Amino acid sequence: MDLILPDFGLLIWTSIVFGLLLIVLVKFIWKPILSAVNTREQNIAESLELAVKTKAEMVAMQAQNENILKEARAERDAIVKDARETANKMIEDAKSNSKTEAEKIIVAAQQAIRTEKAAAMADIKSQIASLSIDIAEKIVKSELASDDKQKALASKLAEDINLN
C-alpha cells in the first residue's frame, strides 16, 4: 500500500533538489548550450543562403559577361568595319585627289611648255632675222667690194630686169 502513497519527506527533498537543479541548469547550462546551438544553426543557414545567392549572382554575372563580350565583339566588328570604310574612302579620296592634281600639273606643264615654246620661237625668229641681215650685209659688202663686182652686179641685175 505504501508503494502508492506519497512520502512527504521525499517530496520536500525532491522539490529542493529539482528546484535547485532547474535554476542551475536553466541559468548556467541550457542557456549557453541553446544559444551556441542557435548561433551555429543561424550561421549555417546564413552561409547556405549566401552560397545560393552567390551562385545566382555568378550565373547573372556570367550572363552579364557574355553580354558584355557580345557587345564588345559587335563593337569591335563595327570599329573594324568603320576603319575599313574609312581606309577605303581615304584611298579613294587620295586616288581622286592625286588624279586631279596630276591633271592640274599636266595642264600647268603644258601651258608652261607652250609659253616657253612661243618665247623660244619668237627669240629664234628675231635671231634669224638679225643673222639674215648680218649675212645679207656681209654678202652685199663682199659683192660691192670692188668696182668690177659692182658693175657685174649691176649688169646682172640689169639683165634680170631685162629678162623680166
Partner 1 sequence: MILKNTIKSIFLSILTICSINSAFATEHKEKKEFNVNEMIMHHIKDAHEWHLWGSEHGGTSIFLPIILIDGGVHTFSSSNFYHGEMKTAIDHATKAEVEYLQGVGPAANYALYHEKIYKLNDGALSFEDGHVHGNVKPFDLSITKNVMSLFFGATILLLIMGSVARFYKKNGAVAPKGLAKFLEPIIILVRDDIAKENIGHLKYKKYVPYLLTIFFFIFFNNLLGMIPILPGGANLTGNLTITMFLAVCTLVVTVFSGNKNYWGHIFWMPGVPVPMKFFMMPIEIIGIFTKPFALMIRLFANMTAGHIIVLALISIIFINQSIAWGALSVPMALFISVLELLVAFLQAFLFAMLSALFIGAAVEEAHH
Q: Which residues contribute to the site for partner 1 (CB under 8 A)?
A: 2-15, 17-18, 20-22, 24-26, 28-37, 39-40, 43
Residue 14 C-beta: closest distance to partner 1, Å: 5
Residue 34 C-beta: closest distance to partner 1, Å: 7
Residue 75 C-beta: closest distance to partner 1, Å: 51
Residue 67 C-beta: closest distance to partner 1, Å: 41
| Residue closer to partner 1 (CB basis): 24 or 113 | 24
| Residue closer to partner 1 (CB basis): 31 or 104 | 31
HEC assignment per residue over the chain: CHHHCCCHHHHHHHHHHHHHHHHHHHHHHHHHHHHHHHHHHHHHHHHHHHHHHHHHHHHHHHHHHHHHHHHHHHHHHHHHHHHHHHHHHHHHHHHHHHHHHHHHHHHHHHHHHHHHHHHHHHHHHHHHHHHHHHHHHHHHHHHCCCHHHHHHHHHHHHHHHHHC
| Residue closer to partner 1 (CB basis): 12 or 105 | 12
| Residue closer to partner 1 (CB basis): 40 or 114 | 40
